[in-house]
């Protein structure tokens, strides 16, 4: 069974701090990795995708991938209350299907 | 912008009713997916389709069927709704070319009484 694991949280950080969200996956052949943000009662929206080892930055967001450790993370710099949401990690192997993690609930405190 | 449209945001049905959830995408995507999302269980794949008239079972297909007669439309059918099918249902689509990103519809919150 291919698995994607995340801490469920809630992860609480003060406004302006860095939020660090982590994800591990079990299938070594995983190729593509995605972070989605989901506000309460809404559908997931894509924040970042990452395909190769290292860091990928987009504005306040940085995704980090380490395939040897089977680990992907999302850093949110200068966290804002509007970043409070559940963050879903998704992993894609060969083919079109994703395996989603259970999500980490982030709370940014003003 | 990719648009995935689900026909209803909220739906209330009775036990035993046949329920149709419709999903339409406007990006000519080959792949379409139906998930359900429940607290503590995350997103679970019910069915997916790689092409017109093609369908594949996901992780929890029991009690559901699907139909894909046109490329842009993917329907989820609950043949005889039961209370344990009360959930948030999410449709997604993706292209087989490029980045393989899944785009989600707004979701349908189904209550079966």
User: How do residues B96-105 score in pLDDT, each as one tens digit?
Assistant: 887 789 999 9
The whole-number pLDDT of residue A1 equals 62
CB contacts, 8 Å: B98 with chain A: none
Residue B10 CA to its chain's centroid (Å): 14
Q: Does B77 touch chain A (CB under 8 A)?
A: no
Sign, Cα dihedral of A49, A53, A57, A60? positive
Q: Does B39 touch chain A (CB under 8 A)?
A: no
Whether B94 and B101 have beta carbons less than 8 Å apart is answered as yes
Burial (CB count <10 Å: 0-12, 13-18, 19+), residue B104: buried
- Compute and round to an integer the Cα radius of gyration of chain B: 13
The whole-number pLDDT of residue B63 equals 96
- Separation in Å, CA B7 to CA B20, B50, B54, B110: 9, 21, 21, 12
| Contact (CB<8Å) B104/A103 | no
pLDDT for B74-100, tens place per residue? 999 999 999 999 999 999 999 988 778
CB contacts, 8 Å: B87 with chain A: none
> Which band of pLDDT confidence, cut at 50, 70 and 90, is reported for residue B41?
confident
DSSP B61: -
């Amino acid at each position: 069974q291919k698995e994607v694991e995340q801490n469920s949280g809630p992860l609480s950080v003060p406004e302006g701090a860095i939020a660090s969200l982590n994800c591990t996956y079990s299938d070594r052949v995983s190729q593509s990795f995605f972070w989605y943000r989901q506000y309460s009662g809404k559908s997931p929206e894509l924040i970042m995708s990452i395909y190769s080892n290292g860091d990928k930055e987009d504005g306040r967001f940085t995704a980090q991938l380490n395939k040897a450790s089977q680990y992907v993370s999302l850093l949110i710099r200068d966290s804002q209350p509007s970043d409070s949401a559940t963050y879903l990690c998704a992993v894609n192997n060969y083919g079109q299907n994703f395996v989603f993690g259970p999500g980490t609930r982030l709370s940014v405190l003003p | 912008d990719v648009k995935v449209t689900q026909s209803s945001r909220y739906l209330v049905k009775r036990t035993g009713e046949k329920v149709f959830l419709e999903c339409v995408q406007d990006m000519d995507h080959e792949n379409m997916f139906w998930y359900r999302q429940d607290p503590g269980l995350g997103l679970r794949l019910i069915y997916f389709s790689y092409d017109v008239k093609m369908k594949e079972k996901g992780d929890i297909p029991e009690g559901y069927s699907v139909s894909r007669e046109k490329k842009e439309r993917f329907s989820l059918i609950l043949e005889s709704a039961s209370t344990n099918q009360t959930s948030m249902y999410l449709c997604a689509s993706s292209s087989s070319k490029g980045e393989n990103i899944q785009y989600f519809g707004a979701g349908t919150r189904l209550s079966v009484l």
